[in-house]
């Protein structure tokens, strides 16, 4: 099964402050992922959750049937031993009748064979086949009947050896005054077997009664077959996680004093030099130290074309080296690598519980007790009608068998696992299942401009100084003030200074003014570099360059100014104009969203002229309110809230797409946050969805995979509910035999998994 389901790890979770009581300074919130073996249906999920929530200190517990895992959030005292709390949680799981898994433990060695685990099912089929043969003969007018003792010999091993798992789990459920699928199967098949024994032992000499050994044996076998098919389907839904784990090689070529030495990847340290040969996977993250090559990053980004990598270029663990032998310098290992973060995001999404699952949990909490009451009512009702104990008991058995809520427990997690898996394969990482569930409702998408819709590498297109000043001296001062900044405009200034071979001095007392610019001292003179709006706020006289600034803005350039502090006040020194280019495919991506009826809006900190000029190049209409210009970083979240409220008074579902640190509040405020994978870690942590390629076309793809996944969830829940709603009355009225009920019950679980697996066929 899934590695995540068998691993237990303790982390500090992202807190939901809206639902979390305030912690004292002596408390800390922690999270534990715990594997759980033995769960079979939605009722098991509810039982385990209730057991975990009763443990003192547990704030929340969410159990996932498809991944056979639990995520528990609990409060401990600062400095307390988390291992003691983990032991309490494991004991609670065991007392509930299930098996907590130790870290790294699996039920059985991983077997990639499609027939793995089939032996018990095969034995059951071999023993049950002779019992079913007389039923087949009846269809052709042949009345074959095996001797009673032969039926007993064939059915009893199936009932009590192959079916032992149902008795064990059912007994634990009964002791806890609860119910689950195993209890229903154990009670139903035991009733059929016991009735057969009673009829056989009390029959008059020479009379051969009709026995029901075949019903009990076939039901047990069919349930085992359904669980085997279900497990086989689960292995397919978790293929994405296993494929990501397989990207990490076990051995690396460490370059040491004595040349290349093969060592386990676990021994690699940051700063090591590794040799990577053509065709090998990069084991960890790093940079090219020697050589150049082409790198295939398709498994991480979904991008099929290889990318060139030269000295100093970044390398991502799990990608494939092309045709060049290179030496890489290690920059991240273990859990800090990009691949490890990706695996963690996908695991977290698959382990989490979607909001729609709450309905299933509420139903399953009372489902099994209600079924037992219905089965008892069926028994008493048929007895009251005078059909006899034999027929009444068979109808009650059919009710218990067909009512097993397996499909209910699998409907949502199976679809989520398949959807997040195929999304990850295409470069869309969904770490928040709530974002996955909400994305299909999005009717407004807001884009940050720089780095999201544009290349994000602006060039200095104009540098005009006040008459009488030296161009090179002013640019040297500006470059010095900007040298410590990571802002794209600052990098453009430094690049231009480098092209002109201008020597950049060292600035003193550099201070960034968020959303406005930078101030610093160069050679004893104080300079301010920033937006025209900042200059206006400071009262800087634009003088003869005012008309030129207006003209550059009308042309679509982003214009900044340089001022110097003087005894008579701030004096304008120069104007700088910057130009950026739209990302390839950005215009088509916006058009695709509009074609779906989704409103698109660009949010930018640029002046209105520059923002509107770029918007028109992207196919946006400023006159229709599709451009929000001159927005300070701290105001982006407020703009998202305004889009949610809507000018028409209607509540809108808004997705925000960004890539920078200043986008994080807006990403968190949006209903669905999407971060570009080429952006910052802060943005990726604030967003529910990460687009690994930084391609705007992935926005429409993410919304589409959300729509299809939610559609599969609804289909699964409909059929799971419809199956039980229709099946129970039919069984109670005597239209279904236990054998048919067992087959239908097994088929329902398999059909839910198969329907979810159709998502694997999704293509962008």
Q: In this predicted model, what pLDDT tens digit does every residue of 420-468 receive, in sequence order? A: 888 888 888 887 777 888 888 899 999 988 778 888 778 888 898 988 8
Instruction: Say how far apart CA 100 and CA 68 lie, in whole Å.
Output: 10
- Scan for tokens 């943005």, then name that residue: 683
Sheet arrangement for strand 293-296: 307-309, 293-296, 320-321
One fold for 269-332 and 429-455+582-703: no
Instruction: Say how far apart CA 636 and CA 658 lie, in whole Å.
Output: 11
CATH number of 429-455+582-703: 3.40.50.1000
For 344, the 3-state DSSP assignment is: helix
Any idea where the domains of the chain sit in the sequence? 3-101, 269-332, 429-455+582-703, 459-579
Instruction: Say how far apart CA 611 and CA 535 lie, in whole Å.
Output: 19
- Segments of the chain scoring below 70 in pLDDT: 1-27, 77-81, 102-114, 135-143, 206, 208, 230, 233-241, 243, 299-305, 345-346, 349-365, 405-406, 660-662, 678-686
Q: 235 vs 131, 231, 293, 559, CA distance in Å?
A: 32, 6, 35, 56
**How confident is the model over 718-757, as pLDDT tens digits?**
888 788 788 889 989 988 888 887 777 777 778 888 898 8
Q: Which residues pair with 296 in a beta bridge?
A: 320
**How confident is the model over 169-222, as pLDDT tens digits?**
888 878 877 777 788 788 888 888 988 898 888 887 767 677 888 888 888 888
pLDDT at 327: 93
What class is the 3-101 domain? alpha beta
Q: Which residues pair with 562 in a beta bridge?
A: 529, 574
pLDDT at 234: 67
Cβ neighbours of residue 533 under 8 Å, at least 6 residues apart? 516, 607, 630
pLDDT at 108: 43
C-beta of residue 19 within 8 angstroms of C-beta of residue 154: no
- Scan for tokens 């807006």, then name that residue: 666
Cβ neighbours of residue 532 under 8 Å, at least 6 residues apart? 542, 549, 559, 560, 561, 607
Nearest Cα neighbor of 247 from 336, 328, 338 is 338
Q: Which of 296, 448, 606, 663 is catalytic?
A: 448
Instruction: Say how far apart CA 71 and CA 55 lie, in whole Å.
Output: 14
Sheet arrangement for strand 259-264: 259-264, 251-256, 273-276, 326-332, 285-290, 314-315
In the residue annotation, 448 being an active-site residue is answered as yes
- Scan for tokens 């004292």, then name that residue: 24
For 599, the 3-state DSSP assignment is: strand
Question: How many alpha carbons fall within 13 Å on the CB side of residue 303?
Answer: 17
User: 269-332 architecture in CATH?
Assistant: Distorted Sandwich (2.70)
What class is the 459-579 domain? alpha beta
Question: How many alpha carbons fall within 13 Å on the CB side of residue 412?
Answer: 25
Instruction: Say how far apart CA 625 and CA 614 lie, in whole Å.
Output: 14
Sign of CA dihedral 739, 198, 179, 223: negative
Cβ neighbours of residue 717 under 8 Å, at least 6 residues apart? 356, 359, 360, 408, 411, 412
Q: Residues 239, 764, 343, CA angle at the centre, nearest 5°?
A: 35
């Amino acid at each position: 099964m899934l590695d995540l389901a068998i691993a237990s790890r303790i982390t500090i979770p992202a807190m939901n402050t809206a639902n979390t009581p305030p912690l004292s300074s002596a408390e800390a919130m922690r999270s534990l992922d715990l594997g759980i073996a033995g769960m079979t249906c939605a009722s098991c999920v509810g039982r385990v959750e209730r057991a975990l929530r009763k443990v003192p200190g547990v704030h929340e517990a969410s159990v996932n049937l498809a991944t056979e895992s639990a995520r528990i959030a609990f409060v401990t005292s600062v400095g307390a031993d988390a291992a003691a709390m983990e032991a309490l949680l494991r004991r609670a799981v065991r007392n509930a009748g299930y098996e907590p898994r130790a870290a790294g433990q699996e039920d059985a060695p991983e077997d990639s064979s499609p027939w793995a685990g089939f032996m018990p099912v095969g034995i059951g089929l071999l023993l049950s086949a002779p019992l079913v043969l007389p039923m087949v003969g009846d269809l052709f007018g042949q009345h074959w009947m095996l001797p009673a003792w032969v039926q007993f010999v064939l059915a009893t091993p199936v009932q009590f050896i192959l079916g032992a798992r149902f008795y064990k789990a059912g007994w634990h459920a009964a002791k806890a005054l609860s119910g689950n699928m195993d209890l229903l199967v154990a009670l139903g098949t035991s009733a059929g077997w016991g009735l057969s024994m009673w009829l056989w032992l009390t029959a008059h000499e020479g009379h051969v009664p009709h026995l029901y050994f075949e019903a009990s044996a076939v039901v047990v076998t069919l349930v085992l077959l359904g669980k085997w098919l279900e497990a086989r389907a689960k292995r397919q839904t978790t293929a994405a996680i296993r494929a990501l784990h397989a990207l990490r090689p076990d051995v690396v070529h460490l370059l040491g004093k004595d040349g290349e030495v093969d060592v386990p990847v676990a021994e690699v340290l940051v700063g090591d030099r590794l040799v990577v040969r053509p065709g090998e996977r990069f084991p960890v993250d790093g940079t090219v130290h020697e050589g150049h090559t082409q790198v295939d990053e398709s498994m991480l980004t979904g991008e099929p074309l290889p990318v060139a990598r030269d000295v100093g270029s970044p390398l991502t663990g799990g990608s494939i080296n092309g045709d060049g032998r290179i030496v890489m310098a290690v920059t991240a290992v273990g859990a800090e690598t990009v691949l490890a973060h990706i695996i963690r995001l996908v695991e977290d999404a698959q382990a989490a519980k979607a909001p729609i699952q709450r309905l299933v949990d509420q139903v399953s909490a009372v489902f099994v007790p209600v079924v037992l009451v219905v089965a008892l009512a069926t028994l008493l009702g048929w007895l009251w009608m005078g059909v006899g104990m034999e027929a009444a008991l068979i109808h009650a058995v059919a009710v218990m068998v067909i009512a097993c809520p397996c499909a209910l427990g699998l409907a949502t997690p199976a679809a989520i696992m398949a959807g997040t898996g195929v999304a990850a394969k295409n470069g869309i990482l969904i770490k928040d299942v709530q974002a996955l569930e909400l994305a299909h409702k999005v009717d407004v998408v807001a884009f940050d401009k720089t780095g999201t819709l544009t290349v994000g590498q602006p060039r200095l297109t104009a540098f005009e100084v006040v008459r009488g000043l030296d161009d090179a001296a002013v640019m040297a001062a500006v470059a010095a003030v900007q040298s410590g900044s990571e802002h794209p405009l600052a990098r453009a200034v430094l690049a231009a200074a480098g092209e002109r071979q201008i020597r950049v001095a060292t600035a003193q007392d550099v201070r960034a003014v968020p959303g406005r610019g930078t101030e610093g001292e160069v050679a004893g003179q104080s300079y301010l570099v920033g937006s025209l709006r900042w200059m206006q706020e400071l009262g800087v006289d634009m003088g003869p360059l005012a008309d030129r600034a207006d003209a550059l803005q009308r042309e679509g350039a982003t214009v900044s100014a340089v001022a110097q502090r003087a005894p008579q006040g701030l004096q304008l020194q120069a104007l700088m104009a910057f130009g950026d280019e739209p990302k390839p495919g950005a215009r088509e991506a916006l058009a695709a969203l509009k074609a779906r009826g989704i409103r698109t809006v660009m949010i930018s900190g640029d002046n209105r002229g520059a923002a509107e000029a770029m918007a028109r190049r992207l196919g946006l209409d400023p006159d229709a309110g599709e451009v929000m210009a001159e927005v300070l970083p701290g105001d982006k979240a407020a703009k998202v809230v305004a889009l949610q409220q809507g000018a028409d008074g209607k509540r809108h579902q808004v997705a925000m797409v960004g890539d920078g640190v200043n986008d994080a509040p807006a990403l968190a405020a949006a209903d669905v946050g999407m971060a570009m994978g080429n952006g910052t870690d802060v943005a990726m942590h604030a967003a529910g969805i990460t687009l690994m390629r930084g391609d705007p076309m992935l926005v429409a793809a993410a919304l589409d995979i959300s729509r299809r996944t939610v559609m599969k969830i609804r289909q699964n829940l409909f059929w799971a509910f419809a199956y039980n709603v229709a099946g129970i009355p039919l069984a109670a009225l005597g239209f279904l035999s236990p054998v048919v009920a067992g087959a239908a019950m097994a088929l329902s679980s398999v059909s839910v998994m198969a329907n979810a697996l159709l998502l694997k066929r999704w293509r962008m």
